[in-house]
Structure 1
Amino acid sequence: MAVPVSVEHFDAARLQPGLDDAFAQVAGRFKRREVRLRARSCVQGMLSGLERKNGWTLAEYAGERTPDGMQRLFNAAVWDEHGVRDDIRTYVLGHLGDPGGVLIGDDTGFVKAGTRSAGVQRQYTGTAGKITNCQIGVYLAYASPRGRALIDRDLYLPRESWIADADRCAAAKIGPEVGFRTKPQLLQAMIERALAAGVPFAWVTADEAYGDNGPLRRFLEDERLGYVMAVSRDHQISTAAGKVRADVMATRVPRTGWQRLSCGAGSKGERWYDWALVATAASTHRLLIRRSISRPSELAFYLASSPRPAALRELVRVAGTRWAVEECFQAGKNEAALDHYQVRLYRAWYRYSTIAMLALAFLAVTRAGQFPPGGPPDGPATGGEAITAAPPAATHGDHVIALSANEIRRLFALLTRPSIDHAHVQHWSAWRLRHQTRARRCHYQRRRLRDH
């Protein structure tokens, strides 16, 4: 078992040079020195202890007199956000890359109040657990025994409320060349980019919103990519007797057909379930069923396909790896300000998200640096085989828990925070008051015009 260094021996002095190394990977995409330095300050601010991280607060943290420059960074400055994305991927793979890596697709919501942010509408998001006014970002994560990070992103644009409304698209700077693409189509495009870039991976996994999509699964099969994709309980499975619902297939599994396995370690230890693997009409497809130990009626279903033979343990491992993308979203939003933005334009969303992904990648790489090859002992089981055994009644591990992304970010914020300049603080307080006064006056004027 790989044992991390203790916090007493963690070289916190390497945090700032580590971020310098990370930014050096992307610095060439910012041709002008002013823009490059501002982007560097933006990443630093995203990792700071600021309560909220937007154009105003990031500019104040960077020592600037107004938010204009930081807002230009997202909206108008000349730099290649897609090139930066590619460089982030290279940086991540240089530290976390592994031939047995897993690509994980998923989407996350960004709740918004207005109607002008690109792609915003009332739609369901698991972030809020309901239909609400939000944007949806589709992301591709990479997971290996060394860690996990986000390596690609796309903004979902609804067909009727956005793509079909040319004026609304023009206001958000969405060009006419941008057409409608479903979330599975966005994920497929990201996987295609990963293939073109030579990303080392053996499997693809995603939740049922993507697993239920036949064209996406056929694309993976055509590319001879192994996958373990979650599907809904009413997904129709092809059998020799015809189409059968996945949950009906589960009722036909004999008692001896279940095997107790851990699909990886979670925050509270190994995640134990009972698993069954059922053949389908296609020799290359199998139905993987997960059953809760404490609540046997709680089932989850996966379609598994692989160009090479794969044992149940390996399929279980891949299914468990899907949770790594949820950990990326949690760390991205809590530690790297992934959801703090207040930008409205289409391209600005990509720019902000990309810089936040760089901050998150730095945390992932720094965390991986605590371990020798073999990976963290308390991370998801993305390498090796699933564990086969009965779950112990209690686990009394005495190894030191690794520093989390949260703790690394906290250490970074404390050790790199700038000294307090009282004049600068007072300047920004006065600036905010002037802006709020103008905004209130404009609001009252608009209301008077509307009422009369």
Structure 2
Amino acid sequence: MAEVREGLETFTAELFEAFSRADQRRWGRAYVRGLLLDGRRKSVEPMAARLGEDGNRQALAHFVTSSPWDPAHVRARLAWTMQEAIGPTALIVDDTGFLKDGDASACVSRQYTGTAGKVTNCQAGVSLHLAADHASAPVDWRLFLPAAWDPASSEADTDKVARRERCQIPAVVGHVEKWQLALDMIDESRSWGVDVPLVVADAGYGDATAFRLGLEERDLAYAVGISSRISAHLGHARPVTPPYQGSGRPPVAKYPDKPMTVKELVVAAGREAARPVSWREGSRPGKGQSGFKRMYSRFVALRIRPAGREIRQATCGPELPERWLLAEWPATEPEPVQFWLSSLPSGMPLASLVRLAKLRWRIENDYREMKQALGLAHFEGRTWNGWHHHVTLVSVAHAFCTLQRLTRDPKGAAQG
């Protein structure tokens, strides 16, 4: 136990070196230690009760809520450390909900969150994680500001706008779509020197054509979930120029057939196009079961050309770019159940394509650990800076746990 605490002191000392004052470094270390101690609630008061000589509730509350430290400095150091420790193969972006009873906290609104599986009163945080098959770590965060909180929006809510000052939301912060927040975090991580060539996300991001185009502009490959309604042509389709009649503007090349939805393309390929793939080991669910089971399903992979006005406008020339369409079609299902779009190379083996597309399980594993064990959703402060401070410190605690696991078993995967 003493060895673990000494390791935590060394780890946090490196991350908090940028703090300008000794008291910030002290209370930063104490806060992270409080997050790691056993206990159901990880808000300031119960943590202070468990911290012994460092259990100064007022000092801890001031540090996380009001102390003027920039979380980006800690996140950059965290990213450097975890990039070296993990050797990430992908950046994963996603968002998670922070359920709230009242409406006084920054950016609380009625909105959909997968945390509750419905529209409810909550904050939404977008996060970026470094990930490999065996480990992952959140290194950057954004608090999503709904349009109702933005005085410049046509959807502005007078009461919510009035609460901005009390919640200490900077005047420059307005409503930005989650996919744009994800691109902003990717840009920030690259400015820190984090260079990971693949981005993974779910359909909440993959359905946004502007997000995919933004990744392509940054020369980043992607494997992103998409909904079944996304339209495309098959990869072998080519645009055709109609014959010129000798009057008016010459006709432009276009695809002779209308695009189909990705679901229609996979169904047309048929069940016989699906191939079995096992991509990782997962824990066995249920009581009385131990060990691991192989994650297994059947997948169809097609080369397609995604359609749509934004893609046509961004494409130089009449030919749309070719991409992977991956669909999961279990043997027990009458139709495909999940879809991905990827810009990975055309020669990518199916097993590798599936493994990378499915890597998003890591972020779900991270959210579960941070919420169940490290108090991610337990912050009771109401300010913009307080939220960003808390999620950063939870990320530090999560990273320490990850490093401890890697020390014990460098090649072992944390199963989920």
Quick one: distance in 2 between partners of 1:322 and 1:207?
8
RCO comparison, higher one (Cα < 8 Å, 6+): 1
Deviations along 1:57-106, whole A, 9 cap, x unmatched?
222333357522111112221322110111111121121124xx111111
Would the alpha carbon gap of residues 270 and 326 (structure 1) be closer, same or farther in structure 2, given more than 3 Å must change?
Answer: same
Secondary structure of the residue aligned to 2:17 is helix
- Matched AA of 2:99: V
Residue of structure 2 in register with 1:83 after alignment: 73
Secondary structure of the residue aligned to 1:39 is helix
Measure how far apart 1:221 and its partner are.
1.2
Measure how far apart 1:325 and its partner are.
0.3
Would the alpha carbon gap of residues 120 and 25 (structure 1) be closer, same or farther in structure 2, given more than 3 Å must change?
Answer: same
Aligned-residue sequence identity (percent) comes to: 30
TM-score, length-normalised on structure 2? Answer: 0.83
- Matched AA of 1:93: Q
Quick one: distance in 1 between partners of 2:415 and 2:219?
28
How is 1:139-288 mapped onto 2 (pairs within 5 angstroms)?
A: 139-163=127-151, 164=156, 166-239=161-234, 240=237, 241-268=257-284, 269-281=293-305, 282-288=320-326
How is 1:24-63 mapped onto 2 (pairs within 5 angstroms)?
A: 24-62=13-51, 63=53
Measure how far apart 1:338 and its partner are.
0.9
- The answer as to whether partners of 2:228 and 2:263 remain within 8 angstroms in 1 is yes
TM-score, length-normalised on structure 1? Answer: 0.77
1:120 aligns to 2:108 (yes or no): yes
1:70 aligns to 2:60 (yes or no): yes
Residue of structure 1 in register with 2:97 after alignment: 109
Quick one: distance in 2 between partners of 1:305 and 1:131?
32
- The answer as to whether partners of 1:225 and 1:306 remain within 8 angstroms in 2 is no
- The answer as to whether partners of 2:35 and 2:375 remain within 8 angstroms in 1 is yes
- The answer as to whether partners of 2:150 and 2:174 remain within 8 angstroms in 1 is no
Would the alpha carbon gap of residues 31 and 290 (structure 1) be closer, same or farther in structure 2, given more than 3 Å must change?
Answer: same
Quick one: distance in 2 between partners of 1:242 and 1:333?
46
Deviations along 1:97-134, whole A, 9 cap, x unmatched?
24xx1111110001001111111011111111111110
- Matched AA of 1:324: R
- Matched AA of 2:262: A
Residue of structure 2 in register with 1:290 after alignment: 328
Would the alpha carbon gap of residues 158 and 378 (structure 1) be closer, same or farther in structure 2, given more than 3 Å must change?
Answer: closer
Deviations along 1:37-74, whole A, 9 cap, x unmatched?
11111100000012211121222333357522111112
Secondary structure of the residue aligned to 2:119 is strand
Quick one: distance in 2 between partners of 1:90 and 1:308?
32
- Deviation larger for 312-321 or 53-62: 53-62
1:131 aligns to 2:140 (yes or no): no
How is 1:12-23 mapped onto 2 (pairs within 5 angstroms)?
A: 14-23=3-12
Would the alpha carbon gap of residues 13 and 146 (structure 1) be closer, same or farther in structure 2, given more than 3 Å must change?
Answer: farther
Secondary structure of the residue aligned to 1:252 is helix
Q: How many residues align?
A: 365
Segments ≥4 residues shifted beyond 4 Å: 377-380
In structure 2, the gaps of 5 or more residues are 238-256, 285-292, 306-319
Quick one: distance in 2 between partners of 1:88 and 1:290?
35
Would the alpha carbon gap of residues 378 and 190 (structure 1) be closer, same or farther in structure 2, given more than 3 Å must change?
Answer: closer
- The answer as to whether partners of 2:105 and 2:167 remain within 8 angstroms in 1 is yes
Quick one: distance in 2 between partners of 1:378 and 1:136?
26
Select which of 373, 376, 386 maps to 2:412. Answer: 376
- Deviation larger for 325-334 or 25-34: 25-34
Measure how far apart 1:298 and its partner are.
5.0
Measure how far apart 1:178 and its partner are.
0.9
Residue of structure 2 in register with 1:408 after alignment: none
Residue of structure 2 in register with 1:314 after alignment: 352
Secondary structure of the residue aligned to 1:339 is helix
- Matched AA of 2:46: T
Measure how far apart 1:167 and its partner are.
2.2
Quick one: distance in 1 between partners of 2:272 and 2:178?
39
- The answer as to whether partners of 1:261 and 1:272 remain within 8 angstroms in 2 is yes
Quick one: distance in 1 between partners of 2:334 and 2:201?
23
- The answer as to whether partners of 2:327 and 2:336 remain within 8 angstroms in 1 is no
| Alpha-carbon RMSD | 1.9
